[in-house]
Amino acid sequence: MHHCVTVNGSSLLFCEVIPRSTYGWCPGERYCSDSQGFTAQRDLVDARPRSYNGRRTPSRYRALLRMRKAKRRTVESSNRATDSPDTLFSKIDAQKTAVKRSLSSAATIVWLRGRGDLRIHDNPLLLQAQRLNEPLFIMFTWSSADADKNYGFGEAQRVFLFSAVDALNRALNMRFQQVIHYVRLSDDAGLEEYLQLFHFLEASLSARTLLMARRYEPPLLQLDMELECTLTKQRKWKVYTHNMHLLHEPWTVAYDGDATSSAGHFGTLLPFWQAWQRNADLPPEPAAAPSTLPPAAALERCEPRTPACCEKPPPLAGDAFVDRTTRCAPFQFVTSLVETGLHPVRPGTKRWDTVLLGSWAVDEERVRAFLRDFLEHRLPLYEKNKSRADLEVVSRLSPYLALGMLSAREVFHATRAASRRLAASERSKTFERRLIWRDLAYWTLYMFPEAVTTPIRSHYASQEWNEDPRLLAAWQRGSTGYPIIDAGMRQLWQTGWMPQNIRMAAASFLVEYLNIHWIHGLQWFHRTLIDLDIAINAMMWQNAGRTGLDMWNFVIHPETSARSSDPTGAYVRKWLPELAQLPNAYIHAPWKAPESVLSSAGVQLGATYPQRIIADLGAARKQSQAAVLEMRSRSMPQFFNADGYDRIRVPVLKAVSLPHERFQQTATADNTVWRHVFTRREFREAPFATHLPHETEACDRQEAQLLPKDSTRAMRGNGDAQAAA
Ligand SMILES: Cc1cc2nc3c(=O)[nH]c(=O)nc-3n(C[C@H](O)[C@H](O)[C@H](O)COP(=O)(O)OP(=O)(O)OC[C@H]3O[C@@H](n4cnc5c(N)ncnc54)[C@H](O)[C@@H]3O)c2cc1C
């Protein structure tokens, strides 16, 4: 039996469900996780019935009753006029304090979303909850909107996210007797639904404090800001957001391609890195895990259950079903993570997730041990061998950093500490710089919020691309006939991960040789990477696709690059076992092997391993280059400076003082300047549309205010990208 009732006269409705075993989530029950899902545990919640118009009394209402009673007693005692005014005032104060204390049993909500927040160590949300010392309600929400194809979690990453949330739930349970409460939101959950959810928590837990990690993907940032503003302004909530993901947030690194940097072009790693070091303090030291957490807040009523509440109209005459359907809350508290719909593998379908998870650790202690192992054994080899796919010396920390199972601050400081113990020849400049590269990706997304879907060099949108779906499919499935590309793409498919230089080789192959739009590569990586990071993926694909701030100043040849990144052939042999018997001389170019070598290695091109999908790489490259030149010849002149460099519109950063102190600078779409960005010589030297004299002058004046003349700057693109390639 279900009742729908209004909360605080607002339109929010929720259901009181008389305990039913099928739902489980009812007074007297809470849930603990096990590795398979979740089992109900009884008696964690105070289930004593209270009467309030036939319903259970909300705790806030009880507090108000207590306050009224206290007031009445004060008036009564003052009427008796036996106390002196001083005694009377101190009594009133004491009663006020008592009332305050009872009101302060309001719960604190920690809201986890899997964007940098899935850990116990260096977790400012938990530390603040500890300080606030109010009953704690930890919640994880999931909606299909969280799997949005541009800004959401990709399919492979959802598998990883599922295991990470589950592992965190178990750790919280073991260490602090806390559980994560799971909420399934409707498919298109937006601001309205989140507000309903928080109204519900306000009504049922007297919650007025929300702690959450900041998100930086433009629509998510926008949503969080709106939510924060509405809750604080209209509902008097206290909302605290924390940086849990980055070393420095985009608005705290004062970088706008300033005139003092001579290191490289606007938006590339080197000048950003310099600005990062010059303008910002070192990231704060990571904090330890909280020693304790306040007791878990108990939900006193059953949560809204849309199907139960709304789909089955009670057979009462005059009780309008439509009315109930539209008024019932769309979200649902569910008893297990599985029920949130987060896991992408549907029951009864093929379990591709087990292979994917493979050797990845998912619980925090093992992840931190993994970091220690890297610092001890692989960091000393990193600088020299970071581009060797066959040696596996890179950290493989990206999946953990992407979800926040590991704090970037912890990795940064632990690396510095470990480096101090190493001989000078073993120290790595690159590793720390790569962590800062992450910050650059977020800075880029902040400055160019459309970067996930639209070329940053906007004139490149009109470039002609090859639309042949067979070529794209061959690239995706790892059957291009070029072993290093195929090995990488198969590793990606099976494990959700690839080393950096193999990602670069694969991206370069797609764009430069197949002339396929980089957006297809971005989308495929979005779907298949377990370390998917919206900002990094967008930055790297834009750069590979020549439309980003840092157009790559190189094209990666699939055979010659393979000989330097996999000189032993071990990487190709691991992921392409059908080529394992080929001698080193041919492992990266089986088409060059004599028939006798192929047959003794058991390789039959076209049967056991594919023929190359394009044989003449030189001609293919010329074609894609011609497509760029053709697009540039059609583009408006304002998109080039006099030297042939591409120009883009860049938002001007300005200092602002918003109520949120964290915003030191902001970018606005209506205040932009033209800036030139690194452009390859082969494009610059070809004819391009030229400026009319007055346009040239206006653009140059604008740019000169911000940048030194091009000729005084080093003609460098992204040093790290070049080194990695
Ligand atoms: C086309 C393309 C798409 C990419 N998409 C992603 C992505 O979605 N998510 C992702 O984390 N990385 C992405 N990268 C960057 C890079 O390949 C991975 O971060 C790296 O391979 C992860 O392995 P690792 O942890 O061993 O890296 P390490 O070499 O050990 O580096 C340490 C950390 O530095 C950061 N880092 C490394 N390279 C970069 C970079 N180029 N930009 C920003 N940060 C970096 C990562 O957080 C990484 O974990 C992409 C690269 C390319 C070429």
Report whether CATH 1.25.40.80 matches the domain 364-447. yes
- Determine the atom of ligand 1 nearest the C-alpha atom of 504: 53
Atom 46 (ligand 1) nearest CA: 398
Which of these, 406, 380, 402, lies nearest to 391 by C-alpha position?
380
Average pLDDT rounded to a whole number, residues 73-89: 53
- What is the spatial distance between Cα 236 and Cα 234, in angstroms, rounded to a whole number? 6
Report pLDDT for 298: 80
CB 541 near ligand 1, within 6 Å: yes
Q: Look up residue 383 and give its two tokens.
A: 């600088």
Flag whether pLDDT at 303 surpasses 60: no
Flag whether pLDDT at 387 surpasses 60: yes
CATH assignment, 2-50+106-247+283-340 = 3.40.50.620
Average pLDDT rounded to a whole number, residues 639-665: 69
Report pLDDT for 173: 97
**Which pLDDT band holds residue 24 (cuts at 50, 70, 90)?**
very low
Cβ-count burial of 698 within 10 angstroms (0-12 exposed, 13-18 middle, 19+ buried)? middle
For the chain, which residues make up each domain, given as ranges?
Answer: 2-50+106-247+283-340, 61-103, 364-447, 458-618
Which ranges of 187-290 does DSSP label H, i.e. alpha helix?
191-205, 218-234, 269-279
Atom 38 (ligand 1) nearest CA: 434
Could you please report the per-residue DSSP string of 155-171? HHHHHHHHHHHHHHHHH
- What is the spatial distance between Cα 217 and Cα 248, in angstroms, rounded to a whole number? 15
**Which pLDDT band holds residue 134 (cuts at 50, 70, 90)?**
very high
- What is the spatial distance between Cα 602 and Cα 622, in angstroms, rounded to a whole number? 35
CB 527 near ligand 1, within 6 Å: no
Quick one: 458-618 is in which CATH superfamily? DNA Cyclobutane Dipyrimidine Photolyase, subunit A, domain 3 (1.10.579.10)
- 399 C-alpha to center of ligand 1: Å? 9
- 128 C-alpha to center of ligand 1: Å? 31
**Which pLDDT band holds residue 93 (cuts at 50, 70, 90)?**
low
- 280 C-alpha to center of ligand 1: Å? 23
Report pLDDT for 89: 63
Residue with tokens 């600005």: 275
Other beta carbons within 10 angstroms of residue 283's beta carbon come to 20
Q: Look up residue 476 and give its two tokens.
A: 């995706």
pLDDT digits (tens, 9 = 90+) for 402-433: 999 999 999 999 999 999 999 999 999 999 99
Report pLDDT for 130: 97
Q: What is the DSSP letter of 376?
A: I
Which of these, 3, 137, 132, 169, lies nearest to 59 by C-alpha position?
137
Which amino acid type is present at position 396?
A: R
Which helix (H) or strand (E) covers residue 672, if one does?
strand 665-677
Half-sphere exposure of residue 471, counting CA atoms within 13 Å on the CB side? 18
CB 500 near ligand 1, within 6 Å: yes
- What is the spatial distance between Cα 721 and Cα 269, in angstroms, rounded to a whole number? 9
Average pLDDT rounded to a whole number, residues 505-531: 98
Strand partners, 137: 109
Contact call for residues 468 and 300 (beta carbons, < 8 A): no
Q: Look up residue 57 and give its two tokens.
A: 């009394």
Overall size of the chain counted in residues: 725
Q: Which of 419, 516, 540 to mutate to test the pocket of ligand 1 (most atoms within 8 A of CB)?
A: 540
Residues 404, 408, 414: CA angle, nearest 5 degrees:
130
Report pLDDT for 91: 59
Flag whether pLDDT at 383 surpasses 70: yes
Average pLDDT rounded to a whole number, residues 146-173: 97
Which amino acid type is present at position 715?
A: M
Report pLDDT for 375: 98
Which amino acid type is present at position 554?
A: F
| Full 3-state SS string of 410-474 | HHHHHHHHHHHCCCHHHCCHHHHHHHHHHHHHHHHHHHCCCCCCCCCCHHHHHCCCCCCHHHHHH
Contact call for residues 130 and 293 (beta carbons, < 8 A): yes
Atom 12 (ligand 1) nearest CA: 536
Report pLDDT for 388: 97
Which is more confidently placed, 707 or 448?
A: 448
- 84 C-alpha to center of ligand 1: Å? 73
Which ranges of 496-569 does DSSP label H, i.e. alpha helix?
500-508, 518-528, 534-544, 560-565
Q: Measured in whole angstroms, how far is the alpha carbon of residue 712 from the centre of its chain?
A: 38
Residues 401, 406, 407: CA angle, nearest 5 degrees:
90
Residues 168, 530, 347: CA angle, nearest 5 degrees:
75
Most confident of 12-16, 153-157, 265-269, 637-641: 153-157
Contact call for residues 216 and 441 (beta carbons, < 8 A): no
Average pLDDT rounded to a whole number, residues 450-465: 97
Report pLDDT for 672: 83
- What is the spatial distance between Cα 271 and Cα 49, in angstroms, rounded to a whole number? 64
- What is the spatial distance between Cα 217 and Cα 452, in angstroms, rounded to a whole number? 9
Average pLDDT rounded to a whole number, residues 101-118: 84
Residue with tokens 């080529």: 579
- Determine the atom of ligand 1 nearest the C-alpha atom of 401: 47
CB 718 near ligand 1, within 6 Å: no
- 356 C-alpha to center of ligand 1: Å? 18
- 500 C-alpha to center of ligand 1: Å? 6
Report pLDDT for 724: 56
Average pLDDT rounded to a whole number, residues 567-595: 98
